[in-house]
Amino acid sequence: MASEAPVASGKTRAAFIRVACKDCGNKQILFSRAATHVPCNTCGSELATPTGGRVKLNGEILETLE
């Protein structure tokens, strides 16, 4: 029997997320697998630290966007 090629499901584990800054409460959208440090647009504190996979968040996740 010939093996079949895998079929892509079209879903990824990465998503855009809305995060609230723990210092100033600013709401900001960022990518869940960001490759760079993500600062808050208002106060400059670090919202997300890259880890090689999903980011380490320094704020509260408010919602996941599709």
Q: Is 41 helix (H, G, I), strand (E, B) or coil?
A: coil
Domain range list for the chain: 16-65
pLDDT for residue 1: 54
Res. 28: pLDDT tops 90: yes
Select from 64, 31, 11 the least CA-distant residue to 47.
31
pLDDT for residue 25: 93
pLDDT for residue 66: 79
What predicted TM-score, i.e. pTM, was given to this entire model?
A: 0.74
According to CATH, what is the number of the domain 16-65? 2.20.25.100
Supply the mean pLDDT for the chain.
Answer: 88
Non-local CB neighbours of 41 within 8 Å, separated by 6+ positions: 26, 28
